Structure 1
Amino acid sequence: MSRRKIIALVNLIISGFIALAVSIFFAGGAIAENYTDKTFVAPEFFIILVIWGIGALFVLIQYFKDLIPFFVISLIFTWVSIPIGFKIGMTMATSS
């Protein structure tokens, strides 16, 4: 396995774990007190995982094609998807 593939997979695992942790944290209501019996009071924040999944597709393309542009795009997009998803989730949560 080439060095780029290893870097892409490690990046995918680390950024995926962080995206999952952030989305579950905010979907559960962050540090606010939850007076309902619901586990996720703001499921809009799972949009972070959807946007991160698009970046994961770039990693998959790069893994099989081994192209430099997809490598760079996948590294950038998997990390940028977390704040972008947060902004979109926050917009969805405040507009409803």
Structure 2
Amino acid sequence: MLGHIRSGTLDKVKEAFDKALKGGDGFSVVANNCIRSCMVQFYEACTDVVIEQTNWDTSKVREKLLRDIDGHVAIVRATKISELTSSYEVCL
């Protein structure tokens, strides 16, 4: 169940991040806002499924989600930098 929540949250981050980038705000502002809001949703979803008697440790799932999000942000950042570099090279 935690894996399902992680996967759904990652999809939400990607979608929200891509939409927010088109809004014109700065890259780091958009990344931070999307990550923060989706992590809040992840924590809320985890509290709904965690059963007290099982002592589930959500930290490993949370860490994997954060690594996946950071990886996606890095890929988008590299793509944007490449696009900017190409456009400036054409201008020169």
- TM-score tier by shorter-chain length is 0.3 to 0.5
Q: TM-score, normalised by structure 1?
A: 0.39
> RCO greater where, 1 or 2, for CA within 8 Å and sep 6 or more?
2
Q: TM-score, normalised by structure 2?
A: 0.40
Q: Whose Rg is larger?
A: 2
